[in-house]
């Protein structure tokens, strides 16, 4: 079984990779940084020596690179069992004062990356009549908050894409799950002053995604919503 994860060199993507590697899945990991990918590959390879780990650096915010990553997978003969569209970026700001181009950047990274990669892989998935796509949305997908701006807009759009894809893929045996995590502690929170005990662990999100992937073909978890026990920050 194969698990493809974007934005996989750190944070939630890395935690998801760890969980699926522990489950015996071969990994196909992508992020923008080749060096970060190699570091992650070495670490996971040491912990899970029986798992094949393949990495390729692409900037999926660029349509042609998203297609190139998809083509690399297809040329490698990879059966797309699990696809986790996790590539993402956060630029703080509000609609009235965020930097020019923030919306375009957020849409490219948070929506178009998933859209273009998924489109490239869908014909093969439809042909095999199986596979499970997880789209990493956010609680920001349906709840506006201060300083969320273009990020929240892009995550609303990703949620819409995911819901639409779920309906389209029903006849082909392909599952689609929208994942809505609240704050989970990753390297991006380091130095922020946030108590790690106040928010979730990245492994919590990975656990739920893995559990959802283990159901019978007759069952689909359409949405996963996780929040810190004390609620959003």
* Positions marked active-site: 151
Query: Distance of alpha carbon 217 from its chain centroid, rounded?
Result: 22
Whole-Å CA distances, 233 to 86, 123, 198, 202, 208: 22, 40, 9, 16, 21
How far are the Cα atoms of 75, 139, 212 from residue 134, in angstroms, in the given order? 22, 15, 10
61: helix, strand or coil: coil
From CA 139, how far away is CA 126, in angstroms rounded?
30
For residue 76, the tally of other CB atoms under 10 A from its CB is 11
Per DSSP, the residues of 161-228 read HHHHHHHHHGGGT-EEEEEEE--EE-GGGTTS---GGGSEEHHHHHHHHHHHHTS-TT----EEEE--
What is the rounded distance in angstroms from the CA atom of residue 85 to the CA atom of residue 75?
20
């Amino acid at each position: 079984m194969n698990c493809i994860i974007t934005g996989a060199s750190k944070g939630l993507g890395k935690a998801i990779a760890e969980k699926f590697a522990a489950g015996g899945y071969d990994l196909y990991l992508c992020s923008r940084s080749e060096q970060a990918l190699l570091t992650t590959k070495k670490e996971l390879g040491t912990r899970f020596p029986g798992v094949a780990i393949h990495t390729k650096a692409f900037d999926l915010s660029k349509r042609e690179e998203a297609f190139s990553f998809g083509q690399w997978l297809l040329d490698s003969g990879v059966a797309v069992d699990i696809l986790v569209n996790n590539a993402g970026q956060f630029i703080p700001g509000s609609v009235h004062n965020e930097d020019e181009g923030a919306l375009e950047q957020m849409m490219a990274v948070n929506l178009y990356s998933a859209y273009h990669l998924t489109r490239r892989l869908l014909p093969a998935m439809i042909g095999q009549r199986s596979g499970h796509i997880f789209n990493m949305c956010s609680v920001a997908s349906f709840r506006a908050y201060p300083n969320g701006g273009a990020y929240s807009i892009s995550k609303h759009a990703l949620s819409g894409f995911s819901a639409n894809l779920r309906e389209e893929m029903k006849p082909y045996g392909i599952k689609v799950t929208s994942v809505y995590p609240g704050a989970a502690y990753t390297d991006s929170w380091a130095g922020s002053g946030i108590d790690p005990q106040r928010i979730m662990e990245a492994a919590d999100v990975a656990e739920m995604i893995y559990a959802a992937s283990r159901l019978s073909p007759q069952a689909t978890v359409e949405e996963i919503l996780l929040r810190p026990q004390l609620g959003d920050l």
